[in-house]
Each structure stands twice: as C-alpha cells, then as structure tokens.
Amino acid sequence: MSNDNPIGIFDSGVGGLSIWKEIHQLFPCESTIYLADSKHAPYGEKSKQTIIDLCIKNTELLLSKGCKLIVIACNTATTNAIEYLRAHYDVPFIGIEPAIKPAALQTKTKKIGVLATKGTLSSQLFNSTTELYADDIEIIEQVGTGLVTLIENGKLNSPETVLLLEKYLQPMIVNNIDYLVLGCTHYPFLIPQIQKILPQHITIIDSSEAVAKQTLRRLQLHELKNSCAIKNTHLFFSNTNIEVMQSLLKEVYVAQYLDF
C-alpha cells in the first residue's frame, strides 16, 4: 500500500464530515475519500446484521478506490461492526464511540448526559465503556430519534429540530448534568442550537478530535503517513441528493452523486 493512497471515511450520511474536518485539519497532506450512505440513514434504528452488511458494502467500495486506512465515522457502525471488519479485512480501521471517558473524568456533579442513537446506546461496546469509566457516575441517556433525518434533510435550524433538542435536553438539565456527550457524528452540526438551550456551565464534548489523533497514531504505526510530496485530493460521494452535503462543504469542495 502506497503512502500517497487516500484515507477512506464512511458514515450513514453527512455526519462524519465533522470527523473529516478534524482529520483534514490535523494532517492536511493526506488525500481522502468520503462516503455518505445517506440512502440508508439512520443506521441507529437497524438490526446489527443489517449494519454489518452496510459496513461491508462501504468498506469494499473504499478498498476498490485504493484506501490505505478506513475511518468508520459513525458511532452505530463502530459499535456494531468494527470487530467484524477488523477480522475480515487487512486494512487498519479507526472506530468512534461516545466520549464517555473524558466526561467521566472531568464531571463535578457526577452526572453526565449522552445524546446518541438507539443503536449506539444499546450496543455492547457502549455498555462496556460505560462500566469501565463511569461506574460511580449517573448517566442520563437519550435517544436522539429524528435528529439524523432532520440533519440529512438540511433542517439544522428548523423549528422542529429546536423542539426536539429542547425535549431531549431539558431532562438532562433538570438532572444537573455538567457534561453533554454527543454520541453521533451528525450531532456536532447542531452545537450552535444546543448551546442556546444548555446553561453555560454545561460542557459539550464529542469524539472528533480524539478520532483524528488516533488516525494519526495508526498512520505512523503502519508507516502510512503521506510525506506531502504529492498533491492531495479530496473526494466526497453521496448516494442520495447531494445538496445537503454540498451546503456543509460550502464552495471549497464538490460533492458528487454515486450509486452505492
């Protein structure tokens, strides 16, 4: 595998662009290929086997395009499929899970909120991480039903989105959380709206920066880091309407339709 081959990134839609931005910022010399499987979003309400099958499809498409490392920029896909993918493919995989550990280590009220998909909150990986790092901490879990669909439809600032966020966050506020963990890569796009609802003392935390740093460590470990000698490229594909992806990419990059 050549060092100038791209990093592959996939998600159940545009949410993983929050991960892509951190990766690109940390090592801008790397080329990337991003797959938004928006046709099948959200993953969080599907069965484990369906999620694995979708991840196999995404992985094989990225491998066919020469990706040297694959980032699963989806909490639900990571928690349900990463073990299978690592067992069946030679390429390194980077997964993502809710940032329970840093929130648990820093909370003063011993209460943290987790906003995530049903598939993430019910997964074995989420439960084992919670038991490991937050045994003495109360976790207020909330399934963010409907939020991914609204984001995928470009309704970041819609009244419906704000109403859902208020419904999901108010019980956490009442329970005196001081950290809110965003357990879905789509949710960072809602941070401006979330900040208007939460009191200022509540810290919002997600996994984007940690995933980028782990990606860098794995590139170095496998000696796959690009030297910047070759001009990089960034490709963004969606299997549904590309307008939402394009709006998030602004005019800097071009979103393309791909039937997969």
pLDDT tens, position by position, 175-192: 999 999 999 999 999 999
Based on the fold, state whether residues 229 and 202 are members of the same structural domain: no
Based on the fold, state whether residues 53 and 136 are members of the same structural domain: no
Based on the fold, state whether residues 201 and 214 are members of the same structural domain: no
CATH code of the domain covering residue 112: 3.40.50.1860
**Whole-number Cα distances in Å, 28 to 4, 21, 38, 73, 200:** 12, 10, 26, 18, 33
Angle (deg, nearest 10), helices 17-26 and 208-221: 50
Query: Which pTM value belongs to this model?
Result: 0.91
Q: Rounded mean pLDDT of 91-106?
A: 93
Angle (deg, nearest 10), helices 124-133 and 75-88: 110
Q: Rounded mean pLDDT of 228-247?
A: 91
Based on the fold, state whether residues 134 and 89 are members of the same structural domain: no
Based on the fold, state whether residues 46 and 113 are members of the same structural domain: no
**Mean of the per-residue pLDDT values for the chain?**
94
- Tell whether 138 is covered by a domain: yes
Based on the fold, state whether residues 123 and 89 are members of the same structural domain: no
Among 191, 206, 221, the domain-final residue is: 206
User: What was the pLDDT predicted at 138?
Assistant: 95
- Tell whether 245 is covered by a domain: yes
Judge whether residue 211 has pLDDT over 80: yes
pLDDT in tens, 123-166: 887 888 888 888 889 999 999 999 999 999 999 999 999 999 99
Based on the fold, state whether residues 151 and 83 are members of the same structural domain: no
Cβ contacts of 182 within 8 Å, gap of 6 or more: 98, 99, 115, 116, 188, 191, 204, 205, 206
Residues annotated catalytic, as ranges: 74, 184
- Tell whether 151 is covered by a domain: yes
- Domain housing 151: 100-206
Based on the fold, state whether residues 117 and 30 are members of the same structural domain: no
Q: Is residue 213 within 8 Å of residue 25, measured between CB atoms? A: no
- Tell whether 1 is covered by a domain: no
User: What was the pLDDT predicted at 1?
Assistant: 67
- Tell whether 92 is covered by a domain: yes
- Tell whether 122 is covered by a domain: yes
Based on the fold, state whether residues 92 and 104 are members of the same structural domain: no
Based on the fold, state whether residues 195 and 240 are members of the same structural domain: no
In the chain, the number of structural domains is 2
- Tell whether 83 is covered by a domain: yes
